Structure 1
Amino acid sequence: MGQSTTPVLDRVGFAMLSIIMISVLVTASSVFGTSSNPKGVSIPLQERGSPLAKDGVIIPEALARLAYWDAAKQHAKINNSGPPNNSSSLFRRHSAPLESKLDDILWVGEIEIGKPRQRFRVDFDTGSSDTWVFSSTCVAPICSSKNKYIASESSTSTLQVGEFKKDYFDGTEVSGPIYADTITVAGLSAEGQWFSPIDQVNNMEDYGRDGLMGLSFMSISQLKAPTFIGTLLSQKKISKHIFSMRLSSGSGSELFIGGINPSKYRGELTYVPLESQTMWIVKGSASANGRNGFNGNMVIDSGTWV
């Protein structure tokens, strides 16, 4: 598999239609890619919750865990280094997907892998670049209730050389073999897409998902392979390297691949340059009560609990 050399990948921009970082109570929309294109396919998203709040009341301990986790993530991904010296394993992930559960936070939708197709509900994460699902060979307790990938039942499955291993900054650790297979999302199929059916899991909370699909850049991929969007582009399944998300605490959340859904926003799009082609990092600022609280790089991350 080769990475697409289409020039649009060098001019990738990000447009915020509304702020994505306060997604607990506010509807947000975001666009990733190059110039807008109304054509594309829509994937309904469902929201999962986080332990930041219970019955509308913020939990201080959960907020403290979030502050540490985000600090570690910013440090590593913006500075291209590891986490701070403090041990991130002290804190565990406490969030879930695009299907209103708990108190709104993670965003999940449906994908299919193989032939015949095996169905999974995954977290669409703009903060990472790899795709993984649980394997049929996983014996960890968390795997028992999951949809699991059975390689032997797919006629298009091929085992690749190497092993996938990923340590997340909240202490979650996953690993497994590397496979190539056809991955389909909303009728768009990426043939020979690399992913990992993970068979080793440590320190993972159960968020009601079967896996994760990364939507960031290949440069930070542990698989060292193009992302699902990149593969679609190289196989000419989409004409532009662009996708958009509409995130809502109510209904109507979606991932839109290959364009921007004009029915999901009003007004003009505003594009801002990327600071790095590792993640969706842009310059931004935040203020409260008229006072500036932050000015610098921000990670646009659909997998973060803010």
Structure 2
Amino acid sequence: MRLKIASLALFSLLVAASPTSDPKEPIARIPVARRSFTKDGVADIDALKEHLVNVRLKIARGFANFENNTGALHPNDNGVLRKRVAEELRLARRKTGLDPLTDDLDGVLWQGNVNIGTPANTFSVDFDTGSSDLFVPSTACTDANCAGHEKFNTAASSTAVDQHQTFSIEFADGSTVAGEVFHDTVSIAGLTATDQAVVAATQYSAGFALDVSPPDGLMGMAFQAISNSNSPPVFATLVAQGQTSAPVFGFTLLDSGGELFLGGTDASAFTGGGLTFTPLVTAPAFWEVAAQRVAVGARGVVARAQDAIADTGTTLFIVDTASARAIYAAIPGSADAARTLGEGFFTIPCDAVPDDVSVTLGGTAFTLSPDTLNFGRVSARSNACVGGIVGDDLGVWILGDVFLRNVYTEFDVGNLRVGFAPVVL
């Protein structure tokens, strides 16, 4: 069935329970909306810098959760990133009188609605393929950051079961999302997951204050191995309970008409001869694949394959520092903006934004449009624009919106792979 509405594990379990694709079984389209880091053509560089810090924190949390859940270090975790973010958090806690930071949940993610509880309440959430937990504010949250959001009344839901398990994640401003893990019924556009882990947050990060982040919460769509609560994510539960036609979901990240497609492949969303698939390069954790090459025109500027996470929760395309320098060195008129904008940032000429920067995945080159590569002018009258490719040494690349907005991206849980094809604009 097609649902055009505004609202919206363990690997062995998923494979055993994954149904064969059948067009008669449920498929759901969920419209998703996006906010922007650009206003009146000028980049919000402070928000971008703070977003970059919070991406570091998210990846470091994923590394820590992977170790806690599996007993092993993540292959990309060399300890450097976790030490770095621990120091950044220590410094953030010492600061006072700061304006709320724009965190990785503001201005960058793709949001829609889910229903939680019995009777069901509707919550707006950001869909994040770079994390794995579902959390919303609870009625027990009385701090100012929860004000104005829809709240989860666990006592009023006949299907809510307290797991007596706490949840806590910290953000770059030192604030925290914390709460209690419940199991309850969660539905997305008619697809229903029962006994699903949901965090009822009793404390909210400043980045979730209503004037900063309108969505009520977040729904992670990566794998259980990086879940803070060590619970199957919602889509994993939908697959395990036979709710989907196929164990795949896809994103079309357009400024107008963006969509999350659950339980099948939306062939109307992409062009060309079909999807190019590339397998995960690690055990299921992040949606991590190999980026084989980056080119500017015909010139290959990064020729060595790099591990890269496909992450709807990151707006930037983040590469290691050396690769960022190599990419921008091939773009005429670009400049290192570390001293003026911040470490890792570069500028490109506003009147000559390149249209020939490409990333090769699975043997296919995908080109970044000038619109996605350009984050806006440095200032209202400047001819220097902020480039969307940023250098930061995370131990892994992040294929964020700068890349993903150019493609239809299919996340294949059953075959542990990610598919890409040029998006229909």
Give the TM-score, by structure 1 length. 0.78
**2:264 maps to what in 1?**
259
Q: Distance in 1 between matches of 2:254 and 2:183?
A: 33
Equivalent of residue 227 in structure 1, options 229, 233, 247: 233
Matches of residues 150-169 of structure 1 in structure 2 within 5 Å? 150-168=153-171
1:274 and 2:280 matched: yes
Gaps of 5+ in 1: 10-32, 98-103
**1:302 maps to what in 2?**
312
Greater relative CO (CA pairs within 8 A, separation 6+): 1
Equivalent of residue 137 in structure 1, options 137, 140, 143: 140
**2:115 maps to what in 1?**
112
> Helix, strand or coil for the counterpart of 1:238?
coil
Q: What is the identity percentage for the equivalent residue pairs of Structure 1 and Structure 2?
A: 31
CA change 1:172–1:124 in 2 (3 A) is: farther
Any idea what the Cα deviations from partners look like across 1:232-278, whole Å, max 9, x if unmatched? 1111112432111110012x211111111122112210001112221
**1:44 maps to what in 2?**
31
Q: CA deviation at 1:62?
A: 3.7
Q: Distance in 2 between matches of 1:83 and 1:123?
A: 28
Query: How many pairs were matched up?
Result: 273
Q: CA deviation at 1:48?
A: 2.2
> Helix, strand or coil for the counterpart of 1:204?
helix
CA change 1:223–1:95 in 2 (3 A) is: closer
CA change 1:63–1:232 in 2 (3 A) is: closer
Equivalent of residue 219 in structure 2, options 197, 203, 213: 213
Question: In structure 1, what residue type is equivalent to 2:28?
Answer: V
Q: Distance in 1 between matches of 2:103 and 2:43?
A: 14
**1:18 maps to what in 2?**
none
**1:127 maps to what in 2?**
130
Equivalent of residue 92 in structure 1, options 101, 104, 110: 101
Q: Which moved more, 1:172-181 or 1:75-84?
A: 75-84
Question: Could you say which structure has the larger radius of gyration?
Answer: 2
Q: Distance in 2 between matches of 1:69 and 1:291?
A: 30
Equivalent of residue 255 in structure 2, options 244, 249, 255: 249
Gaps of 5+ in 2: 1-8, 64-75, 93-99, 317-425
Q: Distance in 2 between matches of 1:248 and 1:108?
A: 12
> Helix, strand or coil for the counterpart of 1:145?
coil
Structure 1 contact 48–108 (Cα < 8 Å) conserved: no
**1:65 maps to what in 2?**
50
Q: Distance in 1 between matches of 2:131 and 2:28?
A: 22
Structure 1 contact 96–208 (Cα < 8 Å) conserved: no
Q: Distance in 2 between matches of 1:6 and 1:191?
A: 15
Structure 1 contact 171–203 (Cα < 8 Å) conserved: no
Give the TM-score, by structure 2 length. 0.58
Q: Distance in 2 between matches of 1:63 and 1:153?
A: 40
**2:97 maps to what in 1?**
none
CA change 1:172–1:34 in 2 (3 A) is: farther
Cα root mean square deviation, aligned: 3.0
CA change 1:291–1:169 in 2 (3 A) is: farther
Q: Distance in 2 between matches of 1:8 and 1:270?
A: 22
CA change 1:293–1:162 in 2 (3 A) is: same
Q: Distance in 1 between matches of 2:83 and 2:28?
A: 37
